[in-house]
């Protein structure tokens, strides 16, 4: 076992992470850092978090042996960690609950969040209702036009959705607007970030909340499969479901960690979201990490069939895991992900999220190269109900 203790006091994962924000945000982040440092070591806070995960989310989520698919592929045994069975259908709720509990203990009465595909907005609206907090979600108007159903969900849950009309009217503009609103309302407002990105302490805090995924696997795999996996695979958008399952396994040197980035139309097409494979170190959204940018340093527009992977940056801890070689990052394109999506439906009776389908596709590629007594554990980060429209469209069908 190797020891691993990142980030440092200032939020650095090696040369990545840190805190690159305007003067006006420094004190808000300092307040959050101090509060979280207290709650992080507070048994009372941890007990409440665990209780909410058990009774509101339905944790622990099971691990599942994909027997038929493993047999058909003729190699390693594939297991799924079933985050798709969580309340609201994905891993994002783990983090939303954690941050809402921090907000409540800090005496904040209002949650704000930004959302691109809408999934983090729905998770935030859900916990706001659960804890009786006011909630506003910022969304680029271009994204909003594509996500009517998630907007309706957020409204049903009592949240206000504000459409942002600046810039490209997508996720990054929604993020800037949420930051601006936070700065001017810091006294009563808590900003919930949905992935392991943003300025310190967000990448650490979100990781800590999502690490429950891997912690459960550490006890479930020996019980159910007889031992720990040889390979753990997860899709990487901002990187929260991946770090959640990777982090507890980092000290286990014999367990390979594989992050799957969206290769969209192909890594050489210029239409992908593979920040770790094709990006360069730079600063995005308050931290230093790998960023997809052009020669002039302008952030590039990304593409993936899966909205949740469509992000030009990546959490700084992944940048560090990549550079140190502890994890490796590989591409899966739209077509490969869609094939894995359909196969998972037919063979296992599970409709996976398109994000998770990227991780499944890598498992399908790897399994036949491994022995029948070896084990691949895939983080099935979410269910695919939200993706019906996209999948039907990709198959040239009408839906809804």
Ligand X SMILES: *Cc1c(COP(=O)(O)O)cnc(C)c1O
Residues 157-216, interacting with ligand X (CB under 6 A):
195
Q: Work out how close the CB of 146 gets to ligand X at its nearest, in angstroms, rounded to a whole number.
A: 15
Which of 148, 207, 141 has the alpha carbon at shortest distance from 177?
Answer: 141
Residues 269-308, interacting with ligand X (CB under 6 A):
308
User: How many helices (DSSP H) and strands (DSSP E) are in the chain?
Assistant: 16, 14
Toward ligand X, which CB reaches closer, 95 or 189?
95
Q: What 3-state class would DSSP assign to 58?
A: coil
Give the Cβ contact number of residue 288 at 10 Å. 22
Site string for ligand X, 96-125 (x = CB under 6 A): -----------------------x------
Q: Work out how close the CB of 285 gets to ligand X at its nearest, in angstroms, rounded to a whole number.
A: 13
Among the residue ranges 223-231, 289-297, 324-332, 353-361, the one whose residues contact ligand X (CB under 6 A) = 353-361
Q: Is 239 in the site for ligand X (CB under 6 A)?
A: yes
Q: Work out how close the CB of 385 gets to ligand X at its nearest, in angstroms, rounded to a whole number.
A: 11
Catalytic residue among 52, 114, 317, 355: 114
Tell me, by CB under 6 A, how many residues bind ligand X.
19
Give ∠ CA 179-182-185 in degrees, rounded to 5: 155
Among the residue ranges 171-179, 290-298, 350-358, 391-399, the one whose residues contact ligand X (CB under 6 A) = 350-358
Kindly give, in sequence order, each residue whose CB lies less than 8 Å from that of residue 340, ignoring residues fewer than 6 positions away: 332, 352, 357, 358, 360, 361, 364
Catalytic-residue membership of 381: yes
Give ∠ CA 272-276-281 in degrees, rounded to 5: 115
Q: Work out how close the CB of 54 gets to ligand X at its nearest, in angstroms, rounded to a whole number.
A: 21
Q: Work out how close the CB of 17 gets to ligand X at its nearest, in angstroms, rounded to a whole number.
A: 16
Q: Which of 86, 150, 289, 356 binds ligand X (CB under 6 A)?
A: 356
Report the alpha-carbon distance of residue 293 to residue 313 in Å, rounded. Answer: 9
Catalytic-residue membership of 240: no
Site string for ligand X, 68-97 (x = CB under 6 A): ----------------------x-x-----
Report the alpha-carbon distance of residue 395 to residue 232 in Å, rounded. Answer: 30
Catalytic-residue membership of 168: no
Tell the burial category of 60 from Cβ atoms under 10 Å away from its Cβ (0-12, 13-18, 19+).
middle
Catalytic residue among 61, 70, 92, 261: 92
Toward ligand X, which CB reaches closer, 90 or 161?
90
Toward ligand X, which CB reaches closer, 200 or 383?
383
Among the residue ranges 36-44, 229-237, 330-338, 343-351, the one whose residues contact ligand X (CB under 6 A) = 229-237
Rg (CA), the chain: 20
Which of 141, 138, 109, 146 has the alpha carbon at shortest distance from 121?
Answer: 138
Q: What angle do helix axes 92-105 and 202-210 make, rounded to 10 degrees?
A: 120
Toward ligand X, which CB reaches closer, 260 or 376?
260
Give the Cβ contact number of residue 333 at 10 Å. 21
Q: Work out how close the CB of 13 gets to ligand X at its nearest, in angstroms, rounded to a whole number.
A: 16
Among the residue ranges 1-9, 36-44, 53-61, 238-246, the one whose residues contact ligand X (CB under 6 A) = 238-246
* Alpha-helical runs (H) found in the chain: 23-40, 43-52, 67-73, 92-105, 119-131, 141-146, 148-156, 171-184, 202-210, 212-225, 240-246, 275-278, 316-324, 334-348, 354-366, 388-394
* Chain length of the chain: 400
Q: Which of 355, 376, 387, 391 binds ligand X (CB under 6 A)?
A: 355
Catalytic residue among 61, 275, 306, 381: 381
Q: What are the Cα distances from residue 17, in Å, to 8, 26, 106, 139, 313?
A: 10, 15, 24, 25, 12
Report the alpha-carbon distance of residue 292 to residue 299 in Å, rounded. Answer: 6
Binding site for ligand X (CB under 6 A): 90, 92, 119, 195, 235-242, 308-309, 353, 355-356, 381-382
Residues with catalytic roles: 92, 114, 381
């Amino acid at each position: 076992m190797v020891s691993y203790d990142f980030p440092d006091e200032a939020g650095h994962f090696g040369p990545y992470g840190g805190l690159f924000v305007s003067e006006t945000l420094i004190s808000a982040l300092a307040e959050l850092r101090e509060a979280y440092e207290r709650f992080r070591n507070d048994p009372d806070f941890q007990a409440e978090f665990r209780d909410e995960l058990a009774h509101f989310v339905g944790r622990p989520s099971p691990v599942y042996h994909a027997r038929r698919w493993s047999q058909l592929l003729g190699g390693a045994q594939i297991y799924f960690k079933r985050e798709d069975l969580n309340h609201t259908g994905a891993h994002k709720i783990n983090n939303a609950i954690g941050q809402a509990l921090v907000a409540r203990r800090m005496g904040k009465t209002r949650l704000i969040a930004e959302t691109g595909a809408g999934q983090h907005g729905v998770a935030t609206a859900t916990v706001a209702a659960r804890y009786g907090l006011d909630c506003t979600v910022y969304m680029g108007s271009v994204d909003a036009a594509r996500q009517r159903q998630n907007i309706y969900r957020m409204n049903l849950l009592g949240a206000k959705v504000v459409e942002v009309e600046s810039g490209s009217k997508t996720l990054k503009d929604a993020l800037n607007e949420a930051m601006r609103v936070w700065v001017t309302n810091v006294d009563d407002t808590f900003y919930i970030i949905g992935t392991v990105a943003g300025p310190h302490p967000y990448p650490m805090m979100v990781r800590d909340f999502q690490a429950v995924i891997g912690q459960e696997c550490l006890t479930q795999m020996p019980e159910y499969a007889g031992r720990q996996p040889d390979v753990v695979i997860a899709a990487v958008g901002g990187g929260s479901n991946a770090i959640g399952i990777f982090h507890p396994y980092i000290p286990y040197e014999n367990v390979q960690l594989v992050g799957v980035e969206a290769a969209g139309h192909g890594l050489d097409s210029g239409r992908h979201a593979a920040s770790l494979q094709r990006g360069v170190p730079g600063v995005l959204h308050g931290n230093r990490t790998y960023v997809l940018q052009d020669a002039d340093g302008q952030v590039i527009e990304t593409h993936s069939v899966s909205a949740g992977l469509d992000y030009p940056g990546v959490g700084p801890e992944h940048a560090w895991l990549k550079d140190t070689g502890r994890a490796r990052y590989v591409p899966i394109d739209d077509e490969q992900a869609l094939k894995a999506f359909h196969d998972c439906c037919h063979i296992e009776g599970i409709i996976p999220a398109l994000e998770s389908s990227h991780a499944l596709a890598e498992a399908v590629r790897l399994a036949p190269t491994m022995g029948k007594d070896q084990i691949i554990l895939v983080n099935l980060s979410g269910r695919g109900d939200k993706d019906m429209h996209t999948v039907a469209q990709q198959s040239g069908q009408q839906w809804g």
